[in-house]
Amino acid sequence: MSAPVRRRTVLAEATARLRDAGVASPEHDAAELLAHVLGTTRGRLVLVDEVAPAAVEQYAALVARRAGREPLQHLTGSAWFRHVELAVGPGVFVPRPETELLAGWAVERLAGLVAAGETPVVVDLCTGSGAIAKALADEVPQARVHAVELDEAAHGWAERNLAGTGVVLCQGDLATAFDDLAGSVDVVTCNPPYVPLDAWESVAPEARDHDPHLALFSGDDGLDAMRVLERRAAVLLRPGGVVGAEHADVQGESAPAVFAATGRWTEVRDHRDLAGRARFLTARLAR
């Protein structure tokens, strides 16, 4: 019978394997997977001296899958987004930390309306796992949050994540969603697909091979969904309402231009992420 293995040895071997496989954050992912196997947290791994043989075997299998570039979140079954935990897996786009900035912008806008005595209405288009919608409902419980997702599999994940949150979720196209709210929405958020079709090879294997292509690719220039969003947000928002949408870092000029070109919007601005990359645009519907 095999003997237990020291935690440091297990982690070091796993980290080396993930690094050799090209995983961007090998130390972090190795620790997260071990914590998952042991039913603890990454921060509490220091309390573990040795790992039992059965756990080592289970861990090795997960590390091998991660080395094959299967998303970490698919292996653990969950992802954190701001202050909420989401169930994720095959069939749904794994929420990225960068998108938390867009959600934070929306939280600030909604909180301002609540402070003014209003009950704000927000619509999250292309909700995917429901990450933005769940975060908004969690941080601004006074808001009336609505969300829509077209893909059947992703909608199933959103249903699971938004159960009990009060979010009104529907399955449908962002181009036609929530006709009943036309002209009454305060804030629209969206993390649309924005990868150009010819940029296939530049997409990380974790996303390219495991995220739904409907959530990634959007025409020759990556802005097809952004154009649909511009038109739909103009229908949904009240005069003076605001929209925020994520885009690729190379679309810091072209994505805002979609809104600026129509003459329907004021205060069209782009926002950078913590690494200084263009990340999301915001605009206000002209009164």
Which tokens in the block code for residue 26? 């090998």
Tell whether residue 13 is among the known ligand binding residues. Answer: no
Beta-sheet strands, E only, within 103-173? 121-125, 144-149, 168-171
Tell whether residue 194 is among the known ligand binding residues. Answer: yes
Which tokens in the block code for residue 115? 């402070």
Long-range contacts of residues 110-114, Cβ cutoff 8 Å, at least 24 apart:
110/136, 110/140, 110/143, 110/186, 110/187, 111/139, 111/140, 113/143, 113/186, 114/140, 114/142, 114/143
How far is residue 249's CA from residue 3's CA, in Å, rounded to a whole number? 49
Tell whether residue 192 is among the known ligand binding residues. Answer: yes
How far is residue 231's CA from residue 195's CA, in Å, rounded to a whole number? 20
How many other β-carbons are positioned within 10 Å of the β-carbon of residue 114?
A: 14
Tell whether residue 191 is among the known ligand binding residues. Answer: yes
Q: Which residues pair with residue 50 across a beta bridge? A: 6
Angle between helix 26-38 and helix 7-20 axes, rounded to 10 deg: 130
Tell whether residue 149 is among the known ligand binding residues. Answer: yes
- Residues making up the annotated binding site for substrate are 191-194
- Residues making up the annotated binding site for S-adenosyl-L-methionine are 149, 191
- Residues making up the annotated binding site are 149, 191-194
